[in-house]
Structure 1
Amino acid sequence: MTKNRFKEGGGPSQRQLRVGELIRRTLAEVLARGDVHDPELNRMSITVGEVRTSPDLRVATAYVLPLGGEGRDEVVGLLARNKGELRHAVSKKLALKFAPDLRFQLDETFDRMDETRRMLQQDAVRRDTEGE
């Protein structure tokens, strides 16, 4: 019996996770070295927190955040504007059958962690979570 890799709610496969991490490292390296020919993008320090790939590995969504949070509004637009050059850099470094289409979204993980921490520190929540 074959395993259905596309089942709903099944989570990413090992290959998706591995390729996503390779793309994340490559993007982070390219952005850190300033290999992109866009001075606006090169003046920013950008953290690539995670890259999620589609099951067929043709689409990769990179979750990014500018260091210090400054320029949050413009970072996704700058990366999208340079998507072709970034895609070329990724495909040159990785031996994939197809160069994935890169998409960029703001990484809101840290905001959610701060909000969760703030909620857990409220008196009403702390009372409920502490044992007697």
Structure 2
Amino acid sequence: MKQGSSSRKVNEQARQILADILLFDVSDPRLRDATITGCEVSFDRSYCNVFYTTKPESYAKTAEAFERAKGRIRSLMAKRQSWRVTPELRFILDETIDQAERIDYALKADAARNAGAEDGPEDAESIDA
């Protein structure tokens, strides 16, 4: 679905506010390595999907920490934004970076395998001769 410029601005404003809150106001050490990668605020601003990324070994701890802190984060957000309604926050792990790393690894492995296949027949010809 295509976003208009006003919804892009709202999403970016929400992302910036939440990133600042995470950086300056939340003291939970489990959220230290989390990064807000994007937000999708509903048209009526009743909810906001907050996408985040963190280290793979701390996925579960970070999700639990966001669940515990979302009320405080929402109240801090209400103080910083000028919307009539403060959206309900839904924290969602952003797996695009992990997927990109897996694709990159697969492409490199395929390139190495193809390079090995190009070397392989030449070696086989020299053995036959």
Aligned counterpart for 2:34 among listed residues 46, 66, 72: 46
Per the normalisation by structure 2, the TM-score is: 0.74
Per the normalisation by structure 1, the TM-score is: 0.73
8 A Cα contact 1:16 1:57, kept in partner = no
2:84 corresponds to which residue? Answer: 97
Structure 1's 118 and 39: CA in aligned 2 closer, same or farther, altered over 3 A?
A: closer
8 A Cα contact 2:30 2:61, kept in partner = no
2:18 corresponds to which residue? Answer: 27
Percent identical pairs in the alignment equals: 24
Q: Could you tell me how far 1:77 is from its partner in structure 2?
A: 1.6
CA distance in 2, matches of 1:47, 1:116: 22
Q: What one-letter code is carried by the residue in structure 1 that aligns with 2:50?
A: A
Structure 1's 39 and 50: CA in aligned 2 closer, same or farther, altered over 3 A?
A: closer
More helix by share: 2
Poorly superposed stretches of 4+, deviation over 4 Å:
none
Higher-Rg member (1/2): 2
Structure 1's 17 and 105: CA in aligned 2 closer, same or farther, altered over 3 A?
A: same
Number of aligned positions between the proteins: 114
8 A Cα contact 2:36 2:50, kept in partner = yes
1:18 corresponds to which residue? Answer: 9
CA distance in 2, matches of 1:114, 1:46: 18
CA distance in 2, matches of 1:40, 1:120: 35
1:130 corresponds to which residue? Answer: none
Q: Which runs of 5+ in 1 are unaligned?
A: 1-9, 127-132
8 A Cα contact 1:12 1:55, kept in partner = no
CA distance in 2, matches of 1:39, 1:50: 21
1:3-44 Cα shifts (integer Å, max 9, x gaps): xxxxxxx333322221111111111111111x13x54446x2
1:59 corresponds to which residue? Answer: 47
The Cα RMSD (Å) is: 2.5
